[in-house]
């Protein structure tokens, strides 16, 4: 039976990945710090459905304190999903947390991975934030990264480290650049979660800038499918892939769709543009389609409906 480790196992994407791996019959070791970036109770809710699963073991610890050489001795795949997330809070005094959690932690894992005799794949969760204000739409992996936030810089640094450990030590790395993932269990600091909760509470939502910024929105199950492919396709080793949802939509248009789904008007409060937010994102996923056979399955309206139902249940 294959054994996988998932860091950030109780987080938004990590918890969905744990579910998928267990349903495939794998042994899964989840690692999560349950830090205070957002309410740890939400993370405990995420992981609760599998907490008693016979093939699941949860390690509650800071990644930096664990003996990773011992932990990876019998592991086939390491999915590194843990990170300090959020563009806006990466400015100022908070930056040190980002370098620690995104750069140092990745280097610690890579050091252990290079000693592992059994590890078949190290799947790294990267981000579209590394592109910044990309010069071409849709954006391909060959475009020169130009992050516009400290968060983006730390994700790019971690991704580059992965490349170095692959080139110099043969660590079987694959990096996935996620484009705005959404769906059930989305973090409370993320847009769709905030907007649906505001709709539920009949509160206005804050929109940064004019609302015409566009994003390539990716439903969480599509991101999970990409991870599973990245872990198994031999040609994925040493590669970087864009993982997008296949639809680039303006924020105002998304909010209109959300209002229709929630069956209530969503009041909008326009505020100044946030520093570090890219104006537009759009993923060229042709490389992922070719090598990983990646094909986004969930349309935005369908995914938003799923997230709305989850939000209503969460705050019921």
pLDDT digits 0-9 by tens, 80-116: 999 999 998 999 999 999 999 999 999 999 999 999 9
Q: Which residue has the tokens 């939000």?
A: 311
Concerning whether 79 is annotated as a catalytic residue, the answer is: no
Percent of the chain with pLDDT over 90: 96
Q: CA dihedral in degrees (272, 274, 278, 279; nearest 10)?
A: -10
pLDDT at position 135: 86
State the average pLDDT for the chain: 97
Residue 160 inside a domain? The answer is yes
Task: Evaluate if residue 274 carries a pLDDT over 90.
Answer: no
Catalytic residue among 151, 165, 178, 219: 151
Confidence label for 247 from pLDDT (cuts 50, 70 and 90): confident
Residue 66 inside a domain? The answer is yes
List, in order, residues 6 or more apart from 290 with CB less than 8 Å away. none
Confidence label for 294 from pLDDT (cuts 50, 70 and 90): very high
Q: What is the mean pLDDT of residues 242-264?
A: 95
Residue 268 inside a domain? The answer is no
* Domain containing residue 39: 3-182+220-244+282-297
Q: What is the mean pLDDT of residues 267-296?
A: 95
Q: What is the mean pLDDT of residues 33-45?
A: 96
- CATH number assigned to the domain comprising residue 79: 3.40.50.720
Task: With 0.85 as the threshold, say if the pTM is over it.
Answer: yes
In total, how many domains does the chain have?
Answer: 1
Residue 161 inside a domain? The answer is yes
Q: What is the mean pLDDT of residues 139-165?
A: 97
Q: How close are the terminal C-alpha atoms of the chain, in Å?
A: 39
pLDDT tens, residue by residue, 4-37: 999 999 999 999 999 999 999 999 999 999 999 9
CB 208 within 8 A of CB 277: yes
């Amino acid at each position: 039976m294959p054994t996988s480790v998932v860091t950030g196992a109780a987080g938004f994407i990590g918890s969905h990945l744990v579910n998928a791996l267990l349903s495939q019959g794998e042994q899964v070791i989840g690692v999560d710090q349950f830090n205070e970036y957002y309410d740890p109770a939400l993370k405990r809710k995420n992981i609760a459905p599998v907490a008693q699963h016979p093939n699941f073991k949860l390690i509650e610890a800071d990644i930096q304190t664990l003996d990773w050489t011992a932990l990876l001795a019998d592991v086939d795949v390491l999915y590194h999903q843990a990170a300090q997330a959020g563009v806006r809070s990466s400015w100022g005094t908070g930056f040190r947390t980002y370098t620690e959690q995104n750069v140092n932690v990745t280097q610690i894992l890579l050091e252990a991975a290079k000693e592992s005799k059994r590890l078949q794949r190290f799947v790294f969760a990267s981000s579209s934030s590394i592109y910044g204000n990309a010069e071409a739409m849709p954006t391909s992996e060959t475009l020169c990264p130009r992050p516009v936030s400290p968060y983006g810089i730390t994700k790019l640094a971690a991704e580059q480290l992965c490349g170095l450990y692959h080139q110099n030590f043969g660590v079987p790395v694959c990096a996935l650049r996620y484009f705005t993932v959404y769906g059930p269990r989305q973090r409370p600091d993320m847009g769709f979660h905030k907007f649906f909760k505001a709709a539920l509470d009949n509160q206005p939502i804050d929109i940064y800038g004019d609302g015409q910024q566009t994003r390539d929105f990716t439903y969480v199950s599509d991101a999970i499918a990409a991870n599973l492919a990245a872990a198994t396709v031999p040609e994925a080793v040493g590669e970087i892939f864009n993982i997008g949802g296949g639809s680039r939509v303006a924020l105002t248009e998304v909010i209109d769709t959300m209002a229709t789904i929630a069956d209530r008007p969503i009041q909008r409060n326009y505020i100044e543009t946030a520093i570090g937010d890219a104006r537009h994102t759009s993923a060229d996923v042709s490389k992922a389609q070719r090598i990983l056979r990646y094909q986004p399955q969930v349309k935005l309206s369908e995914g938003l409906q799923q997230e709305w139902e989850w939000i209503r249940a969460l705050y019921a």
